Amino acid sequence: MSRLPEWMQNSLSRPRLRRSIRAARGDARVAVRLYWWNVEVSAALFGPLHCLELALRNALHNTLVHHYGTRGWWSVAPLNEHGKKLVDDAHRSCRRRRVRTTEDDVVAELSFGFWVSLLSRGYDRHFWVPVLHRAFPHYRGRRDRLYDELFSVVLLRNRIMHHEPVHHRDLAADHAKIYRLLGYLSPELAKEAQAMDRFPAVLAARGEVLRGTRPPQF
C-alpha cells in the first residue's frame, strides 16, 4: 500500500484500495487504474439499472392496483411480516419529508429488493399465480428462474450503489441479463435504453485503461 498516493489511501480508505491491489497482483499503478475503471463501469451500468428498477416496480404496482382495485394495494394484499414492515418504513420515511403522503410517494420509497421479493417462493400462490405473471407480458418461463435473475441484479445494484468492486464479475453477462429482464417487461424501453448505453464501450476499454493508454473517465 505504500506505493499508492497517501491522499488516495486517506480519502478512499486502505481496506477498499487493497481489493484493487490484490486484483492487480500488487502493481500499484494498475491498481489505481482498476479502481477508477471500476467507478467508470459502475456509472455506465447505472442507466440500464435505472430503467429496469423503474419498469419493474411500475409493472408490479400497476398490476396489483388493477387486481386489488386500490392504489394502496398493500393495505389489502397478503404481505408477509417483512413486507408489511418495509411498507410501514416507507410510509414513515415519506411522512418525515412531506405533510401529506400519497400512494405514489410510497411506491417510489419502496426498494428494488422489496419489489423483487414479491416474486419469491413465499408469494407464489398469493401473487405470482393469480396476478403478477401478467406484469411480464414477454416472459413464459418459471417464476423461480425469473426471481433468481432479478435477485442477482439486486445484489449487483447494491454493490454499485454502495461503491463496492464489480470489476471481478462477468459484467458482460450481468449487462445482458439486465436487458433480458427489461425485455420481459418492455421491449420498447429496452431498445430505447440500448441506444444510449455506453457500457459496451467502457467494458471494451478495460484493457486500455489498465495499460495506461486510455484514461478512465466518469
The cell numbers describing 2, all together, are: 505504500
215: which 3 cell numbers?
484514461
Q: Does residue 14 belong to any structural domain of this protein?
A: no
Question: What is the extent of the structural domain holding 92?
Answer: 45-199
- Name residue, grid cell 430505447: 192
Q: Is residue 91 part of a domain?
A: yes
Tell me the torsion sign for CA atoms 205, 210, 214, 218. positive
pLDDT of residue 68: 97
Does 11 map to a domain?
no
Average pLDDT, the chain: 94
Q: Is pLDDT of 171 > 80?
A: yes
Domain assignment present for residue 141? The answer is yes
Nearest-angstrom CA–CA distance, 116 and 215:
37
3 belongs to a structural domain:
no
How far apart CA 63 and CA 139 sit, in angstroms, is: 15
How many domains are contained in the chain? 1
Q: How confident is the model at residue 1 (pLDDT cuts 50, 70, 90)?
A: very low
In angstroms, the CA 68 to CA 216 distance is 49
Q: Which three cell numbers stand for residue 158?
A: 447494491
Any domain includes 132: yes
Answer whether residue 24 is part of any domain. no
Q: Tell me, yes or no, whether 100 lies in a domain.
A: yes
Question: Taking the model in full, what pTM does it have?
Answer: 0.92
Whether residue 59 is predicted with pLDDT greater than 90 in this model: the reply is yes
Residues 6+ apart with CB under 8 A from 113: 154, 158
Q: Determine the Cα–Cα distance for residues 61 and 162; give it in Å rounded to an integer.
A: 26
**Amino acid 123: pLDDT:** 97
Mean pLDDT of 67-91: 96
Q: Please, which pLDDT band fits residue 8 given cuts at 50, 70 and 90?
A: confident
Instruction: Look at the chain and count its residues.
Output: 218
